[in-house]
Amino acid sequence: MSSDIKRKKQPKTLTAMEFDDLLDDNLSTESRYAALADASKGKRFWNYLIDQTCMMVIGFLAGIAIALADPYGNETWLLNSGAIGNYLFGAFIALVYYPLTEGLLGGKSIGKLLTGTRAVRQDGTKVDMQDVFLRTLSRVVPFEAWSFLGSKDRGWHDEWTKTKVVDEKHRHQSKGVY
C-alpha cells in the first residue's frame, strides 16, 4: 500500500550562494551591480592597505631586478632620486598594478578580491580598461588618498571618473534584491 502512495517531491532548499547565482542569472549585469550596496569606508581602507602593500612588494622586487640587471652599479639613480623620483616610481608602479588587476579582473584589485568588493560605474555597469586607467591616473594626484576624510564615502578617483566600489556580499534590501 505504501508503494501506491505517490511521494511528493520536496522542493530543493537553496543555499545562499545558489540563490545568489540564480538571482544573478536572471538579472542583467547592470541590475546585478546596481543592486549592490556601496562598500563601507572600512572595506575601502582595507582595499587601500592591501593594494599599497602589494605595490610596495612589486616596487621592492622591481628595485632588485634593476640592481641585478646593472652589474656596474649605475642603479644608484633610483636610490638617490629624492622624494619626486620616489613619487614618480610609485606612480609608475600604480599605473601598472591597477590596470593589470582591476582591468583584467573585472574591477577587482587584490585588495578588492580579498574584501569582496568591486569597482563599477555609477550606473552599475562594469568598468572597462579606460575607466580603470582614468581611476588610476586620479589616484596618483597628490593628496588624493585624503579625499576620503570627512563624511564622503567616495574619493576623488571615484567622483572624477563616475565610478564607485560596491560590496558584493551586501545587496540593497530597498531594491527588493537580497
How would DSSP label each residue in 105-151?
Answer: TTS--HHHHHHTEEEEETTSPBP-HHHHHHHHHHHTSTTGGGGGSSS
pLDDT tens readout for residues 41-70:
899 999 999 999 999 999 999 988 887 887
Question: What span, in angstroms and rounded, lies between the C-alpha atoms of 55 and 80?
Answer: 20
| Mean pLDDT taken over the chain | 78
Look up residue 142 and give its three cell numbers. 597628490
Cell of residue 119, nine digits = 569597482
Q: Indicate the pTM of the whole model.
A: 0.71
Residue that has been written with the C-alpha cell 641585478 in this structure: 68
Q: Which residue has the higher pLDDT, 29 or 43?
A: 43
Taking a C-beta distance cutoff of 8 angstroms, is the pair 39, 155 a contact?
A: no
pLDDT tens track for 97-123:
999 999 999 999 999 999 999 999 988
Q: What is the largest CA-CA distance in the chain?
A: 93
Assigned C-alpha cell, 67: 640592481
pLDDT band of residue 177 (cuts 50, 70, 90) is very low
pLDDT of 176 > 50? The answer is no
